[in-house]
């Protein structure tokens, strides 16, 4: 958390004890470098969350716009990545709130791959569909915890939860996912 | 629902996250504990999902994102700069309305008399002028009429500005 907060601008961090370098906005060149290195991974994350390429595009743009509007005290890539994923999670949650909880996310059309890649494409499609059966908050929780390796406190800040609730929610999300995998025959040992 | 995790689960999830094999004791526990197995399966599956190649899709043009971010920032700066002017506009309107209320309260008897006489006096203006009389009742009536007209114009201007801002 301390690393992540250090990445934020002076006006957004109040509990800093050591003097930090002045927070400045990203330059165009810095933005292009970050976009090149993180854009694809962030888009993949947003695509997994939303299941929709157009939504993922929009949310990617919003996430980078927010990043560009925030003065940053660091240019460390791992800190920027963590911060960017946190912004993207917030943007996604705002998106879901705006569009309503009842809104059904449309499944992308089933893959029409060549015979060589058919199995992999179908499996990928099933995996994505299974993931979208989880609630948005559960998706973000699982991704941040188990793919990005975020700490519970970071996840709590991102999702507006108490830090103590995160392990419990994570446990429930994992259990729900395990149930879905079992139901669909998609467990790691069954691939 | 039981939300208690097994005491070994944290270590097993960490091992699954790192992609390594748990040590012998943990492996033995894993074989015997369905809850831990579920957790590890979910973690491994998440890693596979993350590693699975996403659809071939062209990312949005970064130049467009940069341009959009600059535009949003400029709008934000403009909005902040215009905030005091907006506040002044509102204060102007509130001031105008307060003046009107004060004026009406202060001159209530004259205003009410003027309005009660206004319609008949307008209708009889022509005949009154022909007879050499006056439609309004002297200089105080004229001041009231002019004051009301000025305040009315002020209010209209205020509403016009408010509507055009919106």
Q: What is the CATH number of the domain that holds A159?
A: 1.10.10.10
**Tens digit of pLDDT for each residue in B43-95?**
888 888 888 776 678 999 999 999 999 999 999 999 999 999 989 988 988 88
Distance from the A58 Cα atom to the nearest Cα atom in chain B, whole angstroms: 9
Residue A3: CATH number of its domain:
1.10.1740.10
Residue A159 domain flag: yes
What is the Cα–Cα distance from B63 to B92, expressed in whole angstroms? 43
User: Are residues A184 and A152 located together in one domain of the fold?
Assistant: yes
What is the Cα–Cα distance from B141 to B15, expressed in whole angstroms? 93
- Asked if B115 has any chain A CB less than 8 Å from its own CB, the reply is no
**Tens digit of pLDDT for each residue in A94-106?**
888 887 654 555 5
User: Are residues A23 and A88 located together in one domain of the fold?
Assistant: yes
- What are the residues facing A72 on neighbouring strands? A24
Q: From the candidates A146, A175, A190, which should be mutated to test the interface with B, based on the most B CB atoms within 10 A? A: A146
User: Are residues A94 and A148 located together in one domain of the fold?
Assistant: no
CB contact under 8 A, A28 and B52: no
User: Is the alpha carbon torsion for A169, A173, A179, A182 positive or negative?
Assistant: negative
- State whether residue A29 is helix, strand or coil: helix
pLDDT at A109 over 80: no
What phi and psi values does residue A128 have, to the nearest 5 degrees? -65, -40
pTM value is: 0.67
Would you mind telling me the total number of residues written for chain A in this entry?
191
User: Are residues A5 and A78 located together in one domain of the fold?
Assistant: yes
Which of the four pLDDT bands, split at 50, 70 and 90, describes residue B1? very low
Number of domains in chain A: 2
- Residue A37 pLDDT: 93
User: Are residues A2 and A53 located together in one domain of the fold?
Assistant: yes
User: Are residues A29 and A86 located together in one domain of the fold?
Assistant: yes
CB contact under 8 A, B3 and A171: yes
Distance from the A57 Cα atom to the nearest Cα atom in chain B, whole angstroms: 6
**Tens digit of pLDDT for each residue in A22-47?**
889 999 999 999 999 999 999 999 99
Question: Which of A32, A147, A186 lies nearest to residue B47, judging by beta carbons?
Answer: A147
- Asked if A187 has any chain B CB less than 8 Å from its own CB, the reply is yes
Residue A104 domain flag: no
- Residue A110 pLDDT: 57
- Asked if A83 has any chain B CB less than 8 Å from its own CB, the reply is no
Burial level of A38, CB count in 10 A (0-12/13-18/19+)? Answer: buried
Q: Which domain holds residue A69?
A: 1-10+19-99
Distant-in-sequence, close-in-space partners of A111: CB < 8 Å, separation ≥ 6: A118, A121, A122, A124, A125
CB contact under 8 A, A47 and B72: no
What is the Cα–Cα distance from A74 to A30, expressed in whole angstroms? 11
CB contact under 8 A, B62 and A39: yes
Q: Which residues of B touch A109 (CB under 8 A)?
A: none
CB contact under 8 A, A174 and B39: yes
DSSP per position, A101-140: TTPPPPPPPPP---HHHHHHHHHHHHHHHHHHTS-HHHHH
Distance from the B42 Cα atom to the nearest Cα atom in chain A, whole angstroms: 5
Tokens of B134: 């006056």
- Asked if A117 has any chain B CB less than 8 Å from its own CB, the reply is no
Task: Give me chain B's average pLDDT, please.
Answer: 78
CB contact under 8 A, A64 and B65: yes
Residue A72 domain flag: yes
Interhelix angle for B34-51 vs A165-184, to 10°? 80
CB contact under 8 A, A65 and B17: no
Instruction: Tell me which of A46, A64, A99 is where a domain ends.
Output: A99
**Residue of chain A whose alpha carbon sits nearest to that of B41:** A188
């Amino acid at each position: 958390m301390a690393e992540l907060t250090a990445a934020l601008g002076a006006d957004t961090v109040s509990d800093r004890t050591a003097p930090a370098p002045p927070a400045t906005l990203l330059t165009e060149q810095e933005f292009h470098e970050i976009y090149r290195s993180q854009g694809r991974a962030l888009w993949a994350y947003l695509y997994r969350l939303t299941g929709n390429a157009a939504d993922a595009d929009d949310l990617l743009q919003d996430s980078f716009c927010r990043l560009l509007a925030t003065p940053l005290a660091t240019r460390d890539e791992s800190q920027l990545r963590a911060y960017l994923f946190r912004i993207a999670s917030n943007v996604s949650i705002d998106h879901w709130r705006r569009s309503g909880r009842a809104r059904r996310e449309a499944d992308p059309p089933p893959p029409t791959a060549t015979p060589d890649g058919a199995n992999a494409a179908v499996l990928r499609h099933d995996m994505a569909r299974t993931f979208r059966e989880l609630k948005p908050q559960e998706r973000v929780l699982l991704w941040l915890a188990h793919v990005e390796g975020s700490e519970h406190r970071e996840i709590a800040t991102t999702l507006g939860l108490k830090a103590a609730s995160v392990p419990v929610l994570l446990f429930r999300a994992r259990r729900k996912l395990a149930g879905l995998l079992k139901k669909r025959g998609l467990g790691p040992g069954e691939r | 629902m039981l939300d208690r995790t097994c005491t070994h689960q944290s270590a097993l999830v960490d091992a699954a996250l790192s992609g390594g094999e748990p040590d012998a004791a943990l492996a033995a526990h894993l074989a015997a504990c369905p809850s831990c197995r579920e957790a590890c399966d979910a973690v491994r599956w998440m890693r596979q999902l993350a590693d699975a190649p996403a659809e071939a899709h062209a990312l949005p043009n970064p130049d467009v994102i940069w341009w959009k971010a600059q535009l949003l920032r400029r709008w934000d700066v403009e909005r902040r700069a215009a905030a005091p002017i907006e506040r002044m506009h509102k204060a102007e309107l509130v001031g105008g309305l307060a003046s009107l209320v004060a004026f009406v309260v202060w001159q209530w008897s004259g205003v009410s008399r003027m309005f009660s006489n206004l319609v008949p006096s307008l209708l009889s203006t022509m005949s009154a002028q022909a007879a050499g009389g006056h439609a309004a009742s002297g200089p105080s009536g004229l001041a009231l009429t002019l004051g009301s007209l000025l305040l009315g114009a002020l209010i209209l201007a205020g509403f016009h500005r408010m509507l055009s801002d919106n």
